[in-house]
Every structure is written in structure tokens, then in C-alpha cells.
Structure 1
Amino acid sequence: MAAGLFRKVYDWLLRTFWATEMDVTMIGLQNAGKTSLLRVLSGGEFTLDSIPTVGFNMKRVQRGHVTLKCWDLGGQPRFRIMWERYCRGVNAIVFIVDIADIALLPMAREELHALMEHENLEGIPLLVLGNKSDLPDKLSVDELIDAMDLKNIAHREVSCYGISAKEETNLDAVLQWLLKFANR
């Protein structure tokens, strides 16, 4: 009982006096699972009936003394022109790919590389997430790295994980990776 109370007071002190807020932009083609991932990260339930994001939406994810302000941008072609503007000055960019939809990989690679060529995004860490790892006939992480040509993205730290927003697979690793850049 006393340990639980101490922990609550300690967490409150951290949030109050040593709180850190970081900005993260989540992008990717439509139906990659950005909104579902953000819902699960912020403590909500996974749902199969997510409607496509129109424009953007923002959620805060609290982890200890760090608040991640996550921007979830629409992945339809008409919204991709906004990606660069919302990626400027953030602590990290998260690019989400549906690894079970092989046909869309060339377009995802093209969009990612076009975005990474913007000089004002240089140095911002990039995390590529292969979502829907719970589905059959999906790419492995190594295959995703090759398909997205991640080895040719320079001037930033680049990492890649396989995840499942539905099964909540590897989400702790994603949060740990993001938290490394909280004070960037």
C-alpha cells in the first residue's frame, strides 16, 4: 500500500517538475493502421472499423514523465502534401507500412523517400513500422528494410520494427525507441 502511494507521488512529481513533451508525426499510406496504432498506444481498444483519417488528428500518450504528442496524418494522396509541414521540428517521424499489402510497397517507398529528401527534415530520427504482423503472407522486417530501401536514407537515425496494433505486438519497443529522442 505505502509503495503504491509513494509511486503515485513520485510519478506526479516527475510529471509536474521534470515533465518532457515530445512531438511525433505518424504518417504512411491510407489503411496502414496509423489511427489504430495511436488509439492502442494511448490506452484505447483496437477496432476493425476505423474510418480513414481526414486531414489529421492528435492524441497525447503519457509514459512516465514524458508526454508524446502524436500527430496522425491522413494517408490518402490529397493529404500527403501536408506530411512535410507536420514533420518539421518534431522529435521523431514514424512511417507506418501495411506489410501484408505487398502491392502498395513501391508507392510507400516512393512517398517515404520523397519526404526524406526535404532539407528541413534532415536529422530527424525515422522509425519505420511494418504493421499487421499478425496477418499471413506478410513481409519480415529484413524484407521490409529492403523493400523500403531504408539503407539509402541518410542524415538521420533510421530503425525498423514489425508490429501489430491489433495484437499489441512490439509496442513497448516502439515506445522505448521514441523515448530515446524525448530531449532532442
Structure 2
Amino acid sequence: MDFFRRMYDWLLSVFWATEMDVTMLGLQNAGKTSLLRVLAGGEFTIDSIPTVGFNMKRVKKGHVTLKCWDLGGQPRFRSMWERYCRGVSAMLFVIDSADVEAFPVAKEELHLLLEKPTMEGIPLLVLANKSDLPEHKNVEEVNEALDLDSIQNREVSIYGISVKRETNLDEVMKWMIKHAPK
């Protein structure tokens, strides 16, 4: 039986494998690198080093391979976001849902990026991270703070997550796989 399962998996990977490019962006300290580490099968660590420039990892789930670009969120790297978002299957915008003071800057940076003609039509998943913290804002509050309802020309979804507790990460993977090229 094991032989047939391996043969089936091999056939899937050769003939029906799908690769999709995904970018993870957001302000610094939102949890992008930790999210990528956990999605790739690693463990959450509290002492993550901020991404300088970008980082890329492949995450394989079933017959879909996600090539995930983790983009630095410091001001000096935000001008690179458009370059790494062009032509991707989906964008994940990660926000620290407990850092209310960062919401206006996050909103401004997100909307500036989405106004670019090269970004039109790319699905957007907003991830309100750190839902395990007592001071976090819920999905409705983050949606309103980022003015997501005003975004046109693309599908927009939002999930509350906790990378630390791995809350809703299965839903994030399902969303990404749903947006894989057919």
C-alpha cells in the first residue's frame, strides 16, 4: 500500500504540481518572519531578528508549493515592496493587531502600494497578528482602521491570527492554496 501512495504522490508532483508566488509584507515587528517560519514547519521563537531586505522560503502543502517572499518592513525597504509584489498570486499584509499606534502608517503604506497599476487585481489577505495579546484589536477594528472596504479591483480578505499560538494558520494556508494558479 505504501508503494502505491508514494507512486500517487510522485505522479501528482510531476503532472499536477502548482507553484505560486506569495509576498508577505507589513510594517516591522508585525510577525512576517515568524509566520513564514511556522508555515514552513518550524517553531515560533520570541527572539526573531528583523528581516533586512527580503527572505524567501518554499512551503509545500499537498500539490502546491508556495514560494513566499518575506519583505522587510522598515521604512527604507518599503519602496521595494512593489518590485516583489508584481505578478504574484497573492499578497499577505501582516499587521500587529496590538500596536494601534502603527495602524495609520500601515494603512498609508498599504494603500500607496495598492494604488500602483502593477498591483491591480492581485488578491490581498490581511492578517491581524498577535490576537493572543490582551490589547489586540479584533478583525472588524483592524478592517476599519486600514479602510479595507474602500479597496477596489481585487479580492480582499482579513483573518485574525496568532503565529505564537498558531491560531487560524490552517485557514491562511487554505486561502493561499485557493488562490494558486490553476
Letter in 1 for 2:176: L
Hey, what does 1:111 align to over in structure 2?
A: 109
Please list, as runs of the form range in 1=range in 2, the aligned pairs for 1:43-62 lying within 5 A after superposition: 43-62=41-60
1:84 aligns with 2:76: no
Measured against aligned partners, the alpha-carbon deviations of 1:72-96 in whole angstroms (never above 9, x if no partner) come to 0000000000001100000000000
Q: How does 1:23-172 map to 2 (within 5 A)?
A: 23-172=21-170
Report whether the alignment pairs 1:176 with 2:165: no
Q: Deviations over 1:120-172 (max 9, x none)?
A: 11000000000011111111111111011000010000000000111110011
Residue segments in structure 2 that go unaligned for 5+ positions in a row: none
**Cα RMSD for the two superposed structures:** 1.0
Identical counterparts, % of pairs: 69
How far off its partner does 1:12 sit?
2.2
Aligned counterparts of 1:171 and 1:6: Cα–Cα separation in 2:
30
Match of residue 14 from structure 1: 12
Structure 1 residue 9 displacement after superposition: 2.9
Deviation digits for residues 97-120 of structure 1 (CA, Å, limit 9, x no counterpart) = 000111101100010000000011
Structure 1: unaligned runs, 5 residues or longer: none
CA separation of 1:146 and 1:19: change in aligned 2, threshold 3 A: same
Matched to 1:60, the amino acid is R
C-alpha distance in 2, partners of 1:47/1:9?
36
> How far apart are 1:54 and its partner, in Å?
0.3
Q: TM-score, normalised by structure 2?
A: 0.97
| 4+ runs deviating over 4 angstroms | none
Amino acid at match of 1:133: S
> What is the rounded CA distance, in whole Å, between the counterparts of 1:72 and 1:138 in structure 2?
23
Query: What is the Cα deviation at residue 7 of structure 1?
Result: 3.3
SS of the residue 1:82 aligns to = helix
Q: How many Å apart are 1:8 and its aligned residue?
A: 3.3
- Number of equivalences: 182
Partners of 1:23 and 1:150 lie apart in 2 by 23
Q: TM-score, normalised by structure 1?
A: 0.96
